[in-house]
Amino acid sequence: MNSAPVVRVEGIRKTYGRTVAVDDVSFDVQAGEIFGLIGPNGAGKTTTMECVEGLRAPDRGSMVVLGLDPRRQRYLLQHRIGVQLQEAQLQKRIKVREAVSFWASLYPASVDGDRLLEQLGLTDRRDAWFMTLSGGQKQRLFIALALIHDPELVFLDELTTGLDPQARRAIWDLVRSIRARGKTVFLTTHLMEEAERLCDRVAIIDHGRIVDIDTPERLVRRHCPERAVIVTTGDSSAQARFSTIPGVTAVSHDDRRFTIRGRADDLVTQVIGCLAEHRMPVDDFRTEHPTLEDVFLELTGHSIRA
């Protein structure tokens, strides 16, 4: 990560009337990473992204995207970025292949549209009107349009919203394949699972402000260091034995089900060691790791779903 960032945003602010949508937001996106802007609906994700895309002008702050000013050099920038907008539509009666070939014609160079449609599983809908596509098919078409000119930087705004889990997984694979081809992906999502599985780094945004930025793993370790091991055992002295494990902060139980909490990185190893040492009978064993969802709750004091 020595090279200049692909996106550099410094102190941008955007207000609509008296509502502050984005407030002093700064972050970098590095080449070749999947960067996620995560937060609840209305947190300022889309506004921030559309400023970076050159579709909106922030009231203040500065931005450099691929070495360009998204406001003054919008048209140069449009050639090098691919954009998928949240809740966009196309003409109701445009055919899938017409949209793809029209979009391809807008750029000096483009990839093979038929192959792209095949990769996105849209080949059998080539001649279908946009209005007849399912939500997932529309979303995949928009991804095709964002990728048709093989852009260096791809923006994906809430790309799996409204999709079923199977379609969502397929789209995740697709996004990873974009990264595998050396492209940079900047996405927004309010789905913490999506961010955790997909993003190399995430910026958590709430009420228009960035709360923290890092890899999902480091964010979890920093803000929710506590882990839990849940053991079901009939051992009568389990409570006392678990309590003496180094680094354990609390042991609670519900009948034979014990929850052992601690902050040590080797908590799981320690618990296994204890179980083995005392030859304790174990009926069930699982570990619980905090997720980005917990991080969000910890940082903002409210759930992301609220």
Partner 1 sequence: MTTGLLRLTWLEIKIFVREPLGVIGTVAIPVLIFVVLGRIGGGRVPAEARDVPRFVSADLPILVAIVIALSAVLSLVTIVSIYREGGILKRLRATPLRPATILTAHVLVKLLFTAVTVALTIALGRRYYLMDVDVPVVSFSVALLLVTVSVIAIGFLIASVVPTARFAQPIGTLIFYPMLGLSGLFVPLEVLPPALRMIGRALPLTYAVSLLRGIWHGAGWVAHAGDVAALALTIAVCAAASAKVFRWE
Residue 154 and residue 81 in contact, taking contact as beta carbons nearer than 8 Å:
yes
Cβ proximity to partner 1: between 65 and 229 the closer is 65
* Nearer CB in complex with partner 1: 83/248: 83
Which one, 4 or 88, has the nearer CB to partner 1? 88
Q: Confirm if 176 and 104 have CB atoms less than 8 A apart.
A: no
Nearest distance, CB of residue 208 and partner 1, angstroms: 19
Smallest distance, Å, CB 110 to partner 1? 12
Min dist CB 177 to partner 1, Å, is 22
Q: Which is nearer to partner 1, 145 or 174 (CB)?
A: 145
- Size of the chain in residues: 306
Nearest alpha carbon to residue 261 among 248, 271, 270 = 248
Question: Of the two residues 106 and 276, which places its CB atom closer to partner 1 in the complex?
Answer: 106
Instruction: Tell me the closest approach of the beta carbon of residue 145 to partner 1, in angstroms.
Output: 8
- How far is it, in rounded angstroms, from Cα 89 to Cα 122? 17
Output the smallest distance, CB 89 to partner 1, in A: 4
Which pair of tokens denotes residue 28?
């970098």
For residues 201 and 222, give the distance between their C-alpha atoms in angstroms, rounded to a whole number: 14
CA dist 275 and 86 (Å) reads 51
- By CB under 8 A, name the binding residues for partner 1: 53, 55, 75, 78-79, 83, 85, 87-94, 98, 102-103, 105-107, 129, 142, 145
Those residues whose C-beta lies under 8 Å from the C-beta of residue 155, and which sit 6 or more positions away, are: 49, 52, 53, 81, 82, 83, 84, 146, 186, 187
Nearer to partner 1, 158 or 293 (CB): 158
E strands present in the chain: 7-16, 19-29, 34-38, 60-65, 81-84, 153-157, 184-189, 201-206, 209-214, 227-233, 248-254, 257-262, 282-288
- Between residues 98 and 212, which has the closer beta carbon with respect to partner 1? 98
The two tokens of residue 74 are 């919008």
Nearest distance, CB of residue 74 and partner 1, angstroms: 9
Closest distance between partner 1 and the C-beta of residue 55, in Å?
Answer: 6
Give the number of other CB atoms < 10 A from CB of residue 227.
22
Give the single-character DSSP code of 86: T
- Between 55 and 280, name the residue whose CB sits nearer to partner 1: 55
Q: Which is nearer to partner 1, 107 or 172 (CB)?
A: 107
Q: How far apart are CA 50 and CA 88, in angstroms?
A: 13
Query: Radius of gyration over alpha carbons of the chain, in Å?
Result: 24
Closest among 71, 40, 67, 41 to 54, alpha carbons compared: 71
Q: For the CB of residue 298, give the shortest distance to partner 1 in the complex, in Å.
A: 35
- Asked whether 150 and 107 are in contact (CB, 8 A), the reply is no
Q: Tell me the closest approach of the beta carbon of residue 108 to partner 1, in angstroms.
A: 9
